[in-house]
Amino acid sequence: MDLTGEPDGEPQKVGVAWIDILTGLYGVIGIQAALAERERSGHGQHVDLSLFDFGVSALANQGMNFLAGGLVPHRMGNAHPNIVPYQVFPAADGTIIIACGNDRQFASVCTVLGLGAIAGDPTYATNPARGGNRKTLEGIISEKTRLRTKQDLFFALEGAGVPGGAINTVKEAIADSQVSSHLNRSV
């Protein structure tokens, strides 16, 4: 929770109990490994899990930033601590996430948004430069994304090879054809 929420706000819980769910999935992996070992050697195994252990192990890059460089992570809202832009942006009809993982993808985002002039600008051309100019870049990108719909941005980014997607309400997610086609199947 200490990592979740706006920088000037209080810690926030995630909308779903992900530590509980993922610890359960790791439990299944442990059980499968124990069954495979039993099949191989005939010996049983002990599977031991704790929510705390999994939660700490799942800190991923946030934990590694601390272990490798002593950087204590802090709440950043929806922004990624190491990659820019990798966060939520406004759209004309809601919000989207742009997950721009490298400099080539950044150039593609700039092309999609009509910001080609800044792609090669030393202020933004590399991820470290973008990180140092995060707030300004967020504003420039937001000005462009808020003029387009979630769907339009999604398809344009997908076509340019940039990960991203609409941030859907639960209603929108369930109404999506990828989900609704499974719900409408007769059993």
pLDDT at 165: 92
Residue ranges in the chain whose pLDDT is less than 70? 186-187
Q: What is the pTM of this model?
A: 0.75
* CB-CB neighbours of 166 under 10 Å: 19
pLDDT of the residue at 84: 94
Give the max Cα distance, the chain. Answer: 65
Q: What is the structure's pLDDT at 25?
A: 94
Q: Give the tokens for residue 101.
A: 């993982």
Model pLDDT, residue 142 = 98
Task: Tell me, yes or no, if 93 is annotated catalytic.
Answer: no
According to the model, what pLDDT value does residue 73 have?
Answer: 85
- For residue 124, the one-letter residue type is Y
Closest listed residue to residue 50, CA positions, set 10, 69, 22: 22
- Give every strand in the sheet of 94-99, ordered side by side: 86-91, 94-99, 164-167
- Given this model, what pLDDT does residue 181 score? 83
* Residue 12 neighbours by CB distance under 10 Å: 14
φ, ψ at 35 (rounded to 5°): -65, -40
Residue 162 has what pLDDT? Answer: 97
Q: Helices marked H in 4-50 — which ranges?
A: 18-41
HSE-CB at 97 with a 13 A cutoff on CA atoms is 14
* pLDDT at res. 147: 98
In this predicted structure, what is the pLDDT of residue 62?
A: 86
* pLDDT reported for residue 157: 97
pLDDT of residue 40: 96
Nearest to 85 by CA among 63, 109, 117: 109
- CA 99, distance to chain mean position in Å, is 7
> Which position among 20, 53, 121, 176 bears the catalytic label?
20
pLDDT of residue 19: 92
DSSP code for 93: T
